[in-house]
Amino acid sequence: MAVISRTLFLTLLLALVAFLSASSSSTSSLFAHAQPQNDNEALLQKKVARLEAKAVKNKGVIQLDSLAFEDVMAKPRNYSMVVLFTAISPEFNCVPCLNFDPEYKMVAAGWSKLANKSQLFFSILDFKAGQAIFQKFGMNSAPSVLYFPASSSISGDPSQDRYDFGKSGFQAEPFAAWLQARSGVRVPVQRPFDFMGLAVKVLGTFTAVFSVILFVRKGRKIFGSKYFWSTISMIIIFVMISGHMWNQIRNPPYSMPSQQGRSGFIASGFQNQFGLETQIIAVLYSLLTGAAIGLIAVVPRIENPVGQRATVWVCMGMFTLVFSILIQVFKLKNPGYPFTLMFR
Amino acid sequence: MSTESSSTVARVLKPTILILIAIVAISSRLFSIIRFESVIHEFDPWFNYRTTQHLVKNGFYDFWNWFDEKSWYPLGRVVGGTVYPGIMVTSALIHNVLHFFNFPVDIRNVCVFLAPMFSGLTAFSAYLLTKELKDSSAGLLAAAFLGVAPGYISRSVAGSYDNEGIAIFLLVFTFYLWIKAVKTGSAFFGLLTALFYFYMVSAWGGYVFITNLLPLHAFTLLLMGRYSNRLYVSYSTFCAVGTLLSMQIPFVGFQPTRTSEHMAALGVFGLLQLYAFAELVRGYIPPKQFRALLKGGIVAVAVIASIGLTILSFSGVIAPFTGRFYSLYDTGYAKIHIPIIASVSEHQPTAWTSFFFDLQMLIFLFPAGVYLCFKELKDEHVFIILYSVFASYFAGVMVRLMLTLTPVVCVSAAIAYSTLLDTYLETSEHVLASTKPAIAAAATSAPVVIEATTSDSKATGKKTAAKAAAAAAAAAKSADAEAKTHAKSAASSEKKRFPIFNLDSRLLVILQLTWFLFMFAWHCTYVTSGSYSSPSIVLASRQQDGSQMIIDDFREAYYWLRKNTKEDAKVMSWWDYGYQMAGMANVTTLVDNNTWNNTHIATVGKAMSTSEEVSYKVLRQHDVDYVLILFGGVIGYSGDDINKFLWMIRIAEGVYPNDVKETNFFTPRGEYKVDHDATKTMRESLMYKMSYYRFAELYGSGNAVDHVRNARMPAEGPTLSVLEEAYTTENWLVRIYKVKDLDILGRDLKDSTAFDKGRVRKISSLKKK
């Protein structure tokens, strides 16, 4: 009886020990509620230190990929993040991405030089490296800049704080102002000393001085020359009537990869155009004007009847051909246009 | 034919052709009247029409001192001091003259037909201008081109009663007078230039173009060493008289002495005086001393002038460039600083297609004409070159300024075209051969033209324009070829030129060119009829069976407002419709197309883009009785308020950044959505609610589709508690809502609406929590 009771007691004891030992892992976690806090803090500190190192190495900007993004954004986080979603690679032909890149880096560099900075990191996620993240955020245009405050989680994307390029533009200054509204710290935007600009200015001054000297010395010859001014005027006119100012203001891509039988250098749509397109139009216009001038000014100077006839036919042929091409190009833009010249 | 008889023929032909051109120019602008009715178009014309009515009814002095309390409520607007009165005074004058001779013409018809009538005059002044540059045959061509060029028609069809309608005539005519003045050096023509400049200032803000182009011309001539007494007399007369006269327009006031836009004119005036003085002194002093004096004088003047200008501009006497003008130089400026300018579609830059669409073959004959001007390069050709270069720049920056480019393109293309004809038609026997068919053509085209004015067929109009243009060209050519031949023989003595030897070369060029003229005329008619003749207050669409359907919702709504609201009802709408409402519905508006007060417009934008509670406060504060919106979702009219909504938000955000945030209207993917994906802010905004209120009921359950944005709408539409639907037009294009009064029991309007719907108050208040 006693044996039984002893064994019972022993088994009970054993069971208790077993239970205790089994639950020890859970208890220890229960227990060490303070301990992992320290652990997390250490982890965080490590992460921040790592990020800082990365940032310092790269002038304040951290290059991310999908994995690194998830890692950096993972929940225990006491720092804010600014992420630039971009597509720098040439095959995407993203002109605004390229334009904004140096401006962004400039603000980041300005930030990293600040003494009293709060915890904020600048990072760049290129489409090539972080396709998954782009999908996750449903980004179908680049560049975009998102701001993640320290507390936010990445899954809460609906109300993500986004920088509005459409309104504020691609300059560093409005971007810094936007950031200031969020972080409360004024980021000084120091444009790096512009050697190119200086060179251009110096060169410009030299050219100006030189042309003044030239004007004084040989002014009559060059600046009094009709050809000089007529060339300049004609160039300006051709550039303007082929829609260059539109490009200047709207910044369209130079051309697009061609697809489905649609050439890549004529934009579809009446109020849209590519950079290359305007150049093509300028060439067509100048060929037409050239043919007209040839008929007016060159032909009557030719003494030889055969040569004169040939010139007339060539000029007129070119005129008609190029005009037809021009109309054809116009029809691409405006499919309802009913008139044609040579081609149906 | 002898020389004498052919010159007699020319004397008869020229006026005939000019009259025919004027008839073509006028009749090709009548499409909208034939298709719809004699009605004022678009937006701004309605204001001009309303003020003209006021002027005719109450006389000039009352008009001059008119304070309009029915617009910009509660601020009001001093109309006399904030308009360019030229167009109103012109039509009132025409109206009064006609009535004096007992022609009881309605003022509306005077207004509707004013722009087409003036287009005839524009064609005539293009003839005069080109005649000064080359000869009358080129002049006739220029007149024909300008008469039908879509770039000009776009702003001068019948019913488009706007400043540009008469301003382009004034522009071209002022330039003609200026060239005449420079050529003759007569103070008389200088004075005429100034008078017409004054007329231009009174008619259109674009007068600044003249204010800068004429001094530029004078300055360039100075630089080219072409100073002459002719230039001195004409410019001094023009500048002195013109500046003084332009200051008589209250809207312009002291600007000519203060703003930088006008500085060039005064600067060149001063320079010219100094230059003239130096020339005078040169005559009395030995060359060596004169040289020293000149150097000293230049330095002294430069120093004094720069110091003076700096002091004046810093002390604020001279204003910096105004925003609208500045946006011409720095093209990004408007986008960032003045959304209200950027939001107007005519302030957008011009794509190349617009150039071709508006000018077709003229656009590439134009540089050839400029080249020919360089070959001649007399004083007047310098002017055309400057005009071409600057106008093409401005036209590139802003679609609207296409209008100032069109005249010079027509003039210079006409020079190129007529030189081509000269070259390939010149020989006496050829002249004789081509005169007969030309006269015949001109003669036959006359009855056709008259036919076209009465008939409404598009095809006839097309043919007429084509024929008349071709006839004008051929006839003009033959008429003047005689004179040309003399000129040519004189020219050939300088440089060796040969005639065109082969008949086939001549035929090829002439026939081909004639064919191009036909194409040009077809193109112009096509563009005019298809794109520029819509009155935009009456819409036309084709039904499936091909029959035409007239959509007259705007006038329906305005008429409803006129008949069903109190005399002093205040109606809020986006500024686009302000002029139309004032003109047609005779109600008080909060904002209109005269966008002088950005804050007020932003307030309206705020009321439209915030939630009912917030916007109700704004509505009450401004005593708004009705809200009017445009909604195209039912018939697919894309110019409706939901599509303009982003601009309202943007403008409102500029003034009330705490109440309105543009980003809240975009889905996380950065899209502008109205369907299930629409953001909460979007769904709660007053504009969204008003647009889609009861929209889903129109269709079966869950089948509601917005035809503009191709969006499937939620089955349950928005509810309204501070507004109630007052009127919705036949095609749902215009919706009018009445602003509810405060609840008589002092409840929240939301609660009282819920109560009226039979819901117990508890539920709604529970729902809130």
Q: Report the number of distinct structural domains present in chain A.
A: 3
Q: What angle do CA A113, A114, A117 make, to 5 degrees?
A: 130
Assess whether A157 and A172 both reside in one domain: yes
Decide: B416 and A292 in contact? Cβ < 8 Å.
yes
Q: Which of A45-59, A64-78, A307-321 has the highest mean pLDDT?
A: A307-321
Assess whether A233 and A213 both reside in one domain: no
Q: Is B769 on the interface with A (CB under 8 A)?
A: no
Which residues of chain A have a CB within 8 Å of the CB of B385?
A: 229, 233
Q: Is B65 on the interface with A (CB under 8 A)?
A: no
Which residues of chain A have a CB within 8 Å of the CB of B350?
A: 243, 245-246
Which of 492-521 (B) contact A at CB < 8 A? 495-502, 504-505, 508-509, 512, 516, 519
Establish if A1 belongs to a structural domain. no
Q: Is A249's CB within 8 Å of B397's CB?
A: yes
Q: How close B393 gets to chain A, by Cα (Å)?
A: 6
What is the extent of the structural domain holding A326? Answer: 225-333
Give the rounded percent of residues in chain A with a pLDDT score beyond 70.
76
Phi, psi of A308 (to 5 degrees): -65, -45
Chain B residue with minimum CA distance to A250: B349
Range in A88-97, A255-264, B543-552 the model is least confident about: A255-264
DSSP A241: H
Range in A143-152, B165-174, B660-669 the model is least confident about: A143-152
Indicate the domain borders of chain B.
Answer: 164-320, 551-768
Do the interacting molecules here have an ipTM over 0.90? no
Establish if A21 belongs to a structural domain. no
Assess whether A157 and A45 both reside in one domain: yes
Assess whether A51 and A110 both reside in one domain: yes
CA-wise closest residue to B734 among B551, B568, B541, B579? B551
Give pLDDT, residue B440: 43
* CB burial of residue B369 (10 Å; 0-12, 13-18, 19+): buried
How many Å apart are CA B399 and CA B217, to the nearest integer?
Answer: 25
Which residues of chain B have a CB within 8 Å of the CB of A293?
A: 368, 371
Q: Is A305's CB within 8 Å of B501's CB?
A: yes
Establish if A30 belongs to a structural domain. no
More confident of the two residues A15 and B263: B263
Which residues of chain B have a CB within 8 Å of the CB of A240?
A: 392-393, 395-396
Range in A24-28, A123-127, A229-233, B746-750 the model is least confident about: A24-28
Start-to-end Cα distance in chain A:
114
**Six-digit token string for B533:** 């003749």
Grouping H, G, I as helix, E, B as strand and the rest as coil, residue A62 is strand
To probe the interface with A, which of B216, B347, B353, B409 has the most A CB atoms within 10 Å? B353
Q: Please report, for residues A19, B2, B62, B625, the alpha-carbon distance to residue B567 in angstroms, rounded to integers and kept in the order given.
A: 90, 74, 22, 12
Q: Is B668 on the interface with A (CB under 8 A)?
A: yes
Q: How confident is the model at residue B48 (pLDDT cuts 50, 70, 90)?
A: very high
Helix, strand and coil in chain B, % to nearest 5: 65, 5, 30
Q: How confident is the model at residue B116 (pLDDT cuts 50, 70, 90)?
A: very high
Phi, psi of B617 (to 5 degrees): -60, -45
Which of 317-336 (B) contact A at CB < 8 A? 331-332, 335-336
Assess whether A202 and A283 both reside in one domain: no
Chain A residue with minimum CA distance to B386: A233
Q: Indicate the residue type of A325.
A: I
Which residues of chain B have a CB within 8 Å of the CB of A160?
A: 668
Give the rounded percent of residues in chain B with a pLDDT score beyond 70.
85
Longest CA–CA separation in chain A, Å: 142
Assess whether A213 and A263 both reside in one domain: no
Establish if A291 belongs to a structural domain. yes
Establish if A11 belongs to a structural domain. no
Assess whether A42 and A158 both reside in one domain: yes
Q: Indicate the residue type of A101.
A: D
Which residues of chain A have a CB within 8 Å of the CB of B343?
A: none
* CB burial of residue A234 (10 Å; 0-12, 13-18, 19+): buried
Decide: A82 and A144 in contact? Cβ < 8 Å.
no
Decide: B607 and B615 in contact? Cβ < 8 Å.
yes
Q: Is A236's CB within 8 Å of B508's CB?
A: no
Residue-by-residue DSSP string for B84-145: -THHHHHHHHHHHHHHHTT----HHHHHHHHHHHHHHHHHHHHHHHHHHHS-HHHHHHHHHH
User: With 50 as the cut, is the pLDDT of residue B411 above it?
Assistant: yes
Chain A residue with minimum CA distance to B515: A341
Chain B residue with minimum CA distance to A292: B368
User: Token match 């060539």: residue?
Assistant: A314
Q: How close A124 gets to chain B, by Cα (Å)?
A: 19
Q: Is B368's CB within 8 Å of A289's CB?
A: yes
User: With 50 as the cut, is the pLDDT of residue B45 above it?
Assistant: yes
Q: Is A339's CB within 8 Å of B526's CB?
A: yes
**Six-digit token string for B172:** 């071209």
The strand pair at A80-86 and A144-148 is best described as antiparallel
Which of 415-474 (B) contact A at CB < 8 A? 416, 419-420, 423-424
To probe the interface with A, which of B221, B327, B356 has the most A CB atoms within 10 Å? B356
Assess whether A88 and A114 both reside in one domain: yes
Q: Is B67 on the interface with A (CB under 8 A)?
A: no
Assess whether A209 and A171 both reside in one domain: no
Measured between CB atoms, which of B364, B375, B498 is closest to A300? B498
Q: Is B367's CB within 8 Å of A323's CB?
A: no
Q: Is B388's CB within 8 Å of A233's CB?
A: yes
Decide: A238 and A280 in contact? Cβ < 8 Å.
no
Which residues of chain A have a CB within 8 Å of the CB of B372?
A: 296
Give pLDDT, residue B704: 82
Q: Is A292's CB within 8 Å of B364's CB?
A: yes
Start-to-end Cα distance in chain B:
100
Counted residue by residue, chain B has a size of 769
To probe the interface with B, which of A85, A178, A284, A296 has the most B CB atoms within 10 Å? A296
User: With 60 as the cut, is the pLDDT of residue B432 above it?
Assistant: no
Chain B residue with minimum CA distance to A140: B669
Measured between CB atoms, which of B388, B516, B668 is closest to A138? B668
Q: Is B365 on the interface with A (CB under 8 A)?
A: yes
How many Å apart are CA B539 and CA A4, to the nearest integer?
Answer: 104
User: Token match 């110019």: residue?
Assistant: B639
HSE-CB for B174 with a 13 A CA cutoff: 29
How many Å apart are CA B389 and CA B9, to the nearest integer?
Answer: 38
Give pLDDT, residue B399: 87
- Tell me the H-state helices in B611-640: 612-621
Give pLDDT, residue B490: 46
Q: Is B596 on the interface with A (CB under 8 A)?
A: no
Range in A305-314, B607-616, B653-662, B667-676 the model is least confident about: B667-676
Please give the CATH architecture assigned to the domain spanning B551-768.
Answer: 3-Layer(aba) Sandwich (3.40)
More confident of the two residues B662 and B430: B662
Assess whether A45 and A126 both reside in one domain: yes
**Six-digit token string for B315:** 């002390």
Assess whether A285 and A170 both reside in one domain: no
Q: Is B532 on the interface with A (CB under 8 A)?
A: no
Decide: B604 and B651 in contact? Cβ < 8 Å.
no
Give the residue-averaged pLDDT of B300-312. 84
Q: Sign of the C-alpha dihedral, residues A220, A223, A224, A225? A: positive
Decide: B653 and B661 in contact? Cβ < 8 Å.
yes
Assess whether A89 and A168 both reside in one domain: yes
User: With 90 as the cut, is the pLDDT of residue B258 above it?
Assistant: no
Q: How confident is the model at residue B2 (pLDDT cuts 50, 70, 90)?
A: low
Decide: B499 and B489 in contact? Cβ < 8 Å.
no
Decide: B49 and B586 in contact? Cβ < 8 Å.
no
Q: Is B504's CB within 8 Å of A309's CB?
A: yes
Measured between CB atoms, which of A164, A224, A292 is closest to B368? A292
Q: Is A245's CB within 8 Å of B349's CB?
A: yes
Which residues of chain B have a CB within 8 Å of the CB of A162?
A: 663, 670
